[in-house]
């Protein structure tokens, strides 16, 4: 009997030890190694619940309960200040190369190994940026077509023999050279006119891949209706890109949003930007435009910090709690992406995605992640 109890106890202890090691291993891997703090400020505490950061003799250390996990490298920097916007804007993107969105079965492109998501950058030695340029370049040779394409960040060359359809040579691939849509402007730096918006990349509607940016503009846009979201079906802000209303140039299309410079300043009060570890679960507000009027703040709840995506577009799980917004939209809808999120007087992030199974809930990106991607896209 005693042996059996010891065996059970030993087995239970082994399981608990394995669970404990797995939990600590997860946090050790997921928690960021680098932490930004404000220059010449005293650290006021923070972390990524249930983990907290504490000041130690070695720097800032992560603790789970009373047990240390690891120490982070700390970088002091001036705290950024921006104007939260919450206004709708139109996006027009022209791709760097031409994206393949579909390949016909047993076509020359299919036999050559070309896949949806590939980006064609040259055909028969000629750089291509538009659908028509690909068509013209293919006609240069009926015997052989050499294509340079970009896949997963690398370039490769493929050769094929185009097929004749009527009077034209075809390779059997459908391509797209541009994208357009409506999103929400997140912030503007008043001194530099640098802006950020959308909170995620502009992606091709067919492949889901980010459109590689060559050039692009943002324009004024107007919201005229709302399709209310419901369980299993995402809603949408119905709007229009206003003609001849370019207001800025795009310089970056990244996983954390689109970035560039406006051609003129906008009015609004500046607020400080929170560092990731300063964001708390709990009450916050979202600034957004869901009709033809001005942006308004609505109450939301930060439900969870997503440790596995601190630098991506799903760093937070949020829930709309404002009855008026829920009545108007059903929760988060397409077109709200980029709507700034405020907490304790600071910009902490932006709305990015809706959970189709529960439109009141969705994801958000950290404002700090947006600013880091913004700086990189501007080469700063």
The residues annotated as belonging to the active site are 200, 322, 337
Residues with Cβ within 8 Å of residue 259, at least 6 apart in sequence: 194, 195, 196, 197, 250, 251, 252, 370, 373, 374, 377, 378
Q: Measured between alpha carbons, how far is 241 from 2 in angstroms, rounded to an integer? A: 77
Residues with Cβ within 8 Å of residue 173, at least 6 apart in sequence: 100, 102, 103, 104, 107, 109, 114, 120
Tokens matching residue 184: 């929400």
By CB neighbour count within 10 A (0-12 exposed, 13-18 middle, 19+ buried), where does 200 fall? Answer: buried
Residue 255 backbone class (left: φ over 0; alpha: ψ -120 to 50; beta: rest): alpha
Which three-class secondary structure state does DSSP give residue 280? coil
Least Cα distance to 224 among 236, 243, 240, 235 occurs for: 240
């Amino acid at each position: 009997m005693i042996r059996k109890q010891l065996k059970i106890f030993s087995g239970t202890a082994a399981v608990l030890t394995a669970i404990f090691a797995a939990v600590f291993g997860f946090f050790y891997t997921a928690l960021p190694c680098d932490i930004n703090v404000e220059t010449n400020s005293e650290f006021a505490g923070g972390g990524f619940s249930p983990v907290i950061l504490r000041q130690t003799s070695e720097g800032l250390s992560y603790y789970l309960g009373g047990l240390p996990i690891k120490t982070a490298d700390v970088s002091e920097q001036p705290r950024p200040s921006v104007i939260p916007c919450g206004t709708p804007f139109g996006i027009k993107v022209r791709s760097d190369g031409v994206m393949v969105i579909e390949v016909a079965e047993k076509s020359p492109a299919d036999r050559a190994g070309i896949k949806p998501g590939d980006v064609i950058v040259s055909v028969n030695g000629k750089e291509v940026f538009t659908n028509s340029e690909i068509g013209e370049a293919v006609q240069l040779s009926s015997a052989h077509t050499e294509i340079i394409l970009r896949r997963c960040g690398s370039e490769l060359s493929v050769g094929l023999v185009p097929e004749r359809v009527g009077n034209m040579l075809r390779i059997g691939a459908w391509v797209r050279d541009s994208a357009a849509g409506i999103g929400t402007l997140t912030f503007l730096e008043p001194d530099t006119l640098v802006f950020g918006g959308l909170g995620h990349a502009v992606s091709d509607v067919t492949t889901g891949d980010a459109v590689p940016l060559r050039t692009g503009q943002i324009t004024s846009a107007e919201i005229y209706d709302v399709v209310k979201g419901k369980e299993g079906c995402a809603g949408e802000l119905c709007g229009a890109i206003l003609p001849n209303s370019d207001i800025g140039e795009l310089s970056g299309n990244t996983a954390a949003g689109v970035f560039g410079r406006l051609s003129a300043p906008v009015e609004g009060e500046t607020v400080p930007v929170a560092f990731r570890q300063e964001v708390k679960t709990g009450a916050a507000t979202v600034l957004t435009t869901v009709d033809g009027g001005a942006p308004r703040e609505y109450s939301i709840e930060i439900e969870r910090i997503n440790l596995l995506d601190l630098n991506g577009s799903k760093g937070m799980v949020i829930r709309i709690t404002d009855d008026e917004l829920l009545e108007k939209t059903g929760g988060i809808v397409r077109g709200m992406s980029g709507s700034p999120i405020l907490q304790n007087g600071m910009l902490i992030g932006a709305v990015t995605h809706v959970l189709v199974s529960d439109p009141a809930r969705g994801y958000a990106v950290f404002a700090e992640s947006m600013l880091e991607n913004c700086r990189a896209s501007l080469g700063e």
